[in-house]
């Protein structure tokens, strides 16, 4: 078995590639195990910012180590077996075919496993699951007029409760989003052609617009559609339990999350992705934001790392 504590980047790169996206590189270590490298990238769709921030993978790894332990203690299965300072050793969760197509990578088949063993491997849907506690982000931006409205009077529990922007939702929501690539090259050019046709446009402006319009957001799925790719009921259960276990732990550190994204396999029983400051909006009751909101709103990359390191220190009880 590969020792992730002594593994070098060269030896890592020599392993067969499973999948590589914007934030992670996954390589096969044999026997149904993978080594994962967290890329030091941060992304904000809302503000169209994506950047490599050296060192940003460290708090992500450290926080994941703590959170995965919390889940383990709560009896929730997670694919991560060991989280080192540079790499993660995990059970292989086979990526969905659409992920390989999305990144132009050949479909990975574990060379050392039999067909039956491959069939038994957990499978990843191309879906991200979001646990939401507050009316923020895409729900707040996308549903015009929801902030400021009230819950229907006929609701058995929350009749008349006001919904406010950035305010707490009456109860936790679980949402299923189809994962899209950050950019869909060609989309911007097509849209620009449709919008401005043959009209003259300065080259620099056109390039900027194309870059902006190339972006694709994840798409929220109706639960019936999501159910074609993941056992929605079971995944919802697992997502609730995961979010509540983390919430309980965070509450002991005076921290709440506004939303949290996670990855669960097709069967809805195995959590397999990173759970870190990069996966949600975390707020300390006294110290405020502990996430990349500072960067989304124009702060420096060092500001992000400082916030994330503070979160890790708070989780460890060091401050």
Q: Which residues bind other proteins (CB under 8 A)?
A: 133-134, 156-159, 161, 167-172, 237, 240, 243-244, 247, 251, 254, 256, 285-286
In angstroms, the Cα distances linking 252 to 22, 176, 249, 284 are: 33, 28, 5, 11
Q: Which is nearer to other proteins, 18 or 131 (CB)?
A: 131
Burial annotation 94-105 (CB, 10 A radius, 16+ → b, else e): bbbeebeebeee
Q: Which is nearer to other proteins, 206 or 253 (CB)?
A: 253
**Rounded least distance, CB 78 to other proteins, Å:** 19
Give CA 150 to chain center in angstroms.
30
Give the C-alpha separation, 113 to 109, whole Å.
9
**Rounded least distance, CB 290 to other proteins, Å:** 15
Q: Which is nearer to other proteins, 100 or 240 (CB)?
A: 240
Contact 29, 35 (CB under 8 A): yes
> Tokens representing 231?
């056992």
Q: Which is nearer to other proteins, 3 or 166 (CB)?
A: 166
Please give the sequence-ordered ranges of beta strands (E in DSSP) within the chain, or none if there are none: 17-20, 24-30, 33-38, 41-44, 49-52, 80-83, 87-91, 127-134, 168-178, 219-220, 255-262, 280-284, 288-289
Quote the Cα angle for 50-56-57, to 5°.
Answer: 110
Q: H helices within 106-231, ranges in order? A: 115-120, 137-142, 187-196, 203-213, 223-226
**Rounded least distance, CB 161 to other proteins, Å:** 7
Give the C-alpha separation, 106 to 20, whole Å.
11
Q: Which is nearer to other proteins, 85 or 254 (CB)?
A: 254
**Rounded least distance, CB 173 to other proteins, Å:** 9
Q: Which is nearer to other proteins, 92 or 230 (CB)?
A: 230
**Rounded least distance, CB 164 to other proteins, Å:** 9
Q: Which is nearer to other proteins, 97 or 166 (CB)?
A: 166
Contacts of 173 (CB under 8 A, 6+ apart): 131, 132
Give the C-alpha separation, 224 to 218, whole Å.
17
């Amino acid at each position: 078995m590969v020792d992730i504590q002594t593994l070098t980047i060269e030896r890592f790169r020599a392993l067969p590639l499973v999948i590589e996206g914007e934030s992670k590189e996954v390589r096969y270590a044999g026997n149904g195990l993978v080594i994962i490298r967290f890329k030091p990238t941060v992304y904000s769709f809302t503000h169209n910012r994506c950047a490599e921030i050296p060192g940003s993978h460290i708090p992500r790894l450290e926080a994941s180590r703590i959170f995965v332990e919390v889940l383990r203690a709560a009896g929730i299965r997670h694919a991560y077996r060991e989280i080192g300072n540079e790499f993660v050793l995990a059970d292989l969760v086979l990526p969905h075919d659409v992920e390989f197509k999305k990144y132009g990578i050949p479909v990975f088949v574990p060379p050392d496993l039999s067909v039956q063993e491959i069939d038994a491997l957990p499978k990843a849907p191309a879906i991200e699951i979001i646990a939401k506690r507050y009316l923020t982000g895409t729900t707040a931006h996308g549903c015009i007029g929801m902030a400021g409205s009230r819950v229907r009077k006929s609701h058995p529990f929350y009749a008349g409760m006001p919904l406010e922007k950035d305010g707490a939702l009456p109860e936790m929501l679980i949402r299923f989003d189809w994962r899209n690539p950050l950019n869909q090259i060609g989309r911007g050019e097509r849209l620009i052609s449709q919008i401005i046709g043959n009209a003259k446009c300065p080259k620099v402006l056109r390039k900027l617009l194309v870059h902006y319009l190339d972006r694709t957001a994840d798409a929220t799925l109706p639960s019936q559609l999501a159910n074609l790719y993941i056992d929605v009921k079971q995944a919802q259960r697992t997502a609730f339990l995961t979010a509540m276990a983390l919430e309980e732990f965070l509450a002991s550190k005076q921290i709440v999350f506004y939303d949290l994204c996670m990855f669960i396999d097709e069967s809805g029983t195995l959590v397999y992705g990173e759970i870190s400051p990069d996966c949600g909006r975390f707020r300390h009751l006294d110290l405020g934001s502990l996430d990349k909101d500072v960067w989304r709103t124009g702060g420096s990359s060092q500001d992000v790392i400082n916030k994330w390191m503070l979160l890790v220190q708070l989780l460890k009880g060091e401050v």
